Structures are given as structure tokens and as C-alpha cells.
Amino acid sequence: MEYTPAQNRYQEMTYNRCGNSGLMLPAFSLGLWHNFGEIDDYQNARSIIHKAFDAGITHFDLANNYGPPPGSAESTFGKILKADLARHRDELVISSKAGWPMWDGPYGDLGSKKYLVASLDQSLKRMGLEYVDIFYHHRPDPDTPLEETMGALDLIVRQGKALYVGISSYSADQTREALKILRELGTPCLIHQPRYSMFDRWIEDGLLDVLGQEQVGCIVFSPLEQGLLTNKYLGGIPTGSRAASGRGNGALEAGQITPELLNKVARLNAIAQGRGQSLAQMALAWAGRDARVTSVLLGVSRPSQLEDSLASLANSRFAPEELAAIEAILGK
């Protein structure tokens, strides 16, 4: 069936400036790490993308290795783009990344210029694109000189294969260094993509300060700790959930869901109920509460979750007492 985007799609979403760049990103973006692979249901994937675009989500986040198998999320996205969104390409911000293992041999991993340039060429083919809007180095490489990795990002922009560049999971110190090199090269870093949730607050210990001072955007991933920060695991591991999926590639596994974490989840759930929202909605609002966070990356396995998560926009402020009660549970 032909897809016609909702007319009012830009009215409900909030758009935030990404650092001091010209680019605005939606408060919520959609990530395609899981649920868009070759093993997943194509019509479900398509419905999620439609629902996201209908709700004003303009930013879709991919990486070379998303699937499974690796690469297949980009192929799925390319297919949906061609079928339904080709006319809207200029309304979209599409990102990809390289940095985790992608192909055999010494050139399909980490941070060499050889890997990054070839990987982006492959990603563009899979998605049927001439360029991505943002290209990231996916994780720090301890052995490749930072000048080479940042030089590869600069080259890619000059080749016209990406408009902006970013880094992911770099520490505060590595970030400072990378930003300096990129600025000197004349390709300023647009954005950093770190992991951030109530259960993983490392960015509060320096990285957010660096990004704020340097006026670089921040888009946070796994804000629900892969689904743990919802009420779904309180009564066991439901079939169809990520922890039951055995997908691999870093997906949440049953053994990671400990009684201690579930105890915290249950107490957080009670606070969310007091606010009249689901725990997922509260956890998403919490992850985006700092003005230095440009966008929060959603990962959903079905359209109904997207609807639930987006409702968080209507109740995203916290009273000081609520924040204190959450702090007491998290015990930072």
C-alpha cells in the first residue's frame, strides 16, 4: 500500500539545535540497531519507520553492522526509503557509522582510514544513497593515531559522502583531543553519541561538560537500557522481548537482568506511576532532561512502543523532589 506521510508531522515534535551547528535534530530520533535486520519482519520495520516520520522524527540512526546479519538494517532501510520516502530525502537526517567488526581480515574493524572510507562506500550502496548526513567513528581505536581516524572523517566530508561527522563512545579526554584535531582540519565535530540511561551515567563525569563547553551536540543511546527500564521484565522474561531473542551483537541477555536491578526498576516504576506515565516514558524524559542532550535515540520493536515512548514529550519535566527520589533509588 502506498504511504502518505501525516500532514501535521512537524507540529508535535520538538527540534533542538545540534551544538552550535546549523542542524536541528528532533528531541527523539529512531535507531535501527535491532528489529530491522534480515531476520526481522519487514512490514513491521516499515510500519515503525512510517509511524516515526508521521510523528516528526526526521533522524534515523544506522551503522554498518546493524542487523543481523551485519549490513542488513541498512539494506532494509534503503528498501523502505526507496519505496516510501524517496521524495522526502531532504527532510531526513540519516547517519551511519564504522568502528566495530564488519568484515574479515585486518581492514574491517576499528579506526583506520582504509576501513572507514571503504565501509561508508558499502553503507551508501546498501542504503541507495549518494551521501549520509552524519558519519561517525563508532568507538575509539587504541592503536590507530587519532589524526588518521579524524583525517578519514574529514576526507569523507570533502569527498561529499557525508555532510557532518561525529564520534561515539569516546571518553571525555579522547573527545577533547578529537574535537581539536577536527577543528584544525576544518571539519568541526557535529555530535557525540554516548550511551546514557538511569543505569549508566558515565557522561555526567566530564563528557557532558566537554560537549557543553565546545558546543558539540549529544545524542544518547540505549536510554531504556535495552528495555530494562520499562515494566516488561518485572514479571519475568516475556517472549518476544529483546532479552528472549538471542540476537547477539550486544543485545540484552537474560543473565544481565539481576534481582538488584529489578528491585530498582520496581521502585522507579512506582515513581513513574505517581507521575501518571509509564516507566519507559519517565526514563526517556530523564535521559533528555539536560539541555546539552540534543536528542534521545529510541529503539522500538513495534509501532505501539513508539507511540508510548513519544507520549513522554507531553510530560517531560521533573519536580526537584522527583529527581531526588530517583537519585535515592539509583544511588549514584
Q: In the complex, which residues of this chain contact ligand NAP (CB under 6 A)?
A: 31-34, 61, 138, 168-169, 193, 221-227, 230, 232, 241-242, 280, 297-301, 305, 308-309
Enter the C-alpha cell of residue 135.
558519519
Which CB atom, from 2 or from 312, has the smaller least distance to ligand NAP? 312
Nearer to ligand NAP, 94 or 182 (CB): 94
3-state secondary structure at position 260:
helix
Burial classification of residue 102, based on how many CB atoms lie within 10 Å of its CB (0-12 exposed, 13-18 middle, 19 or more buried): buried
Asked if 225 contacts 199 with a C-beta cutoff of 8 angstroms, the reply is: yes
Short-list 229, 301, 240, 309, CA closest to 29? 309
Look up residue 292 and give its amino acid.
R
Between helix 146-158 and helix 113-127 the angle, nearest 10°, is 40
Residue nearest to ligand NAP (CB): 299
Select 184 or 238, whichever has its Cβ closest to ligand NAP: 238
- Looking at this protein, which amino acid is placed at residue 327? E
- Helix (H) or strand (E) holding 61, with range, is strand 59-61
- Rounded CA-CA distance 302/215 in Å is 34
Taking the complex as a whole, the smallest distance from the CB of residue 2 to ligand NAP amounts, in Å, to 27
3-state helix, strand, coil in the chain (%, to 5): 45, 15, 40
54 vs 225, beta carbon nearer ligand NAP: 225
Chain-centre distance for alpha carbon 80: 19
Cα of first residue to Cα of last residue in the chain, in angstroms, is 50
Could you tell me the smallest distance in angstroms from the CB atom of residue 226 to ligand NAP?
A: 4
Q: Provide the minimum distance between the beta carbon of 128 and ligand NAP in the complex, in angstroms, as a whole number.
A: 19
Nearer to ligand NAP, 186 or 235 (CB): 235
> Which is closer to ligand NAP, CB of 144 or CB of 309?
309
Q: Cβ of residue 232: shortest distance to ligand NAP, in angstroms? A: 5
Q: Which of 191, 176, 109 is nearest to 143 (CA)?
A: 109
Smallest distance, Å, CB 58 to ligand NAP?
Answer: 15
Task: Between 215 and 249, name the residue whose CB sits nearer to ligand NAP.
Answer: 249
Phi–psi pair at 178, nearest 5 degrees: -65, -40
**Smallest distance from the beta carbon of 257 to ligand NAP, in angstroms?**
11
Beta strand pairing call for 189-193 and 162-168: parallel
Nearer to ligand NAP, 19 or 223 (CB): 223
Give me the least distance between CB of 281 and ligand NAP, in Å please: 7
Shortest spacing between CB 10 and ligand NAP, in angstroms = 22
Write out the three cell numbers for 291.
539541555
